[in-house]
Copies of this chain bind each other. A is one copy, B any other.
Amino acid sequence: MVKRTSLKRAECPVARSLDAIGDWWSLLIVRDAFDGARRFGEFQNSLGISKGILTTRLRDLVAQGVLDTVPASDGSAYQDYVLTKKGQDLFPIVVGLRQWGEDHCFEPGEAHSVLVDNETAERVGRLEIRSRSGRAVGWADTTVRKAGTPSPVQRRSAPAKRSRRSASTAAGP
């Protein structure tokens, strides 16, 4: 990633998350961990990437506290990689990527994997953003308030309207 250091101290949590996660390969490693992978070889077989790249990404994910290493569950000399709480908390992001991909990255009728609820074997529902009171909100119903800014109620412009970029609520990186 180019200029990653510029994101590490950002006041925007989106930028910090991206910096902490690393890159797409790292998130695919996390996806595989959600799906049960624990061994180096399991990740490698799934992702088809070089040992060098995988080694670096696993090391970075451990350094970030997303994965932890534990003695192999079968008692062998290998080590397993397991998701920490911080890693498990990435699940909504992976689900969000899945649902967006299902909506926008497949031809009609094209086969893809699905995420199902174990209790019912039905696909899980859509990720939704809600207000504290439970009302569904879209991006146009929300505003990013910069750190240290008091809380004016200000409507976000509709997509076709003029930028809010100059407003005090705009979030830098």
Contact = CB atoms under 8 A, between A and B. Distances in A.
Interface of A: 1-3, 6-7, 11-20, 23-25, 27-28, 31-32, 34-39, 42, 46-49, 53, 65, 73, 82-83, 86, 88-106, 111-125, 127-135, 137-139, 141-148, 151-157, 159-165, 167, 170-173
A124 B113 contact: no
A63 to B, nearest CB: 14
B118 A11 contact: no
* Shortest Cβ-Cβ A-B pairs, 8 listed: A13-B101, A36-B164, A111-B147, A17-B101, A16-B105, A93-B96, A17-B97, A91-B139
Given A120-B132, A139-B91, A97 B13 contact: yes
Contacts of A156: 36, 118
A115 B170 CA distance: 11
Given A93-B93, A96-B127, A100-B93, A147 B112 contact: yes
A89 B35 CA distance: 25
A14 to B, nearest CB: 5
A38 B31 CA distance: 33
Name, among A99, A144, A167, the residue most crowded by chain B CB atoms within 10 Å (CB to CB): A144
Name, among A25, A143, A165, the residue most crowded by chain B CB atoms within 10 Å (CB to CB): A165
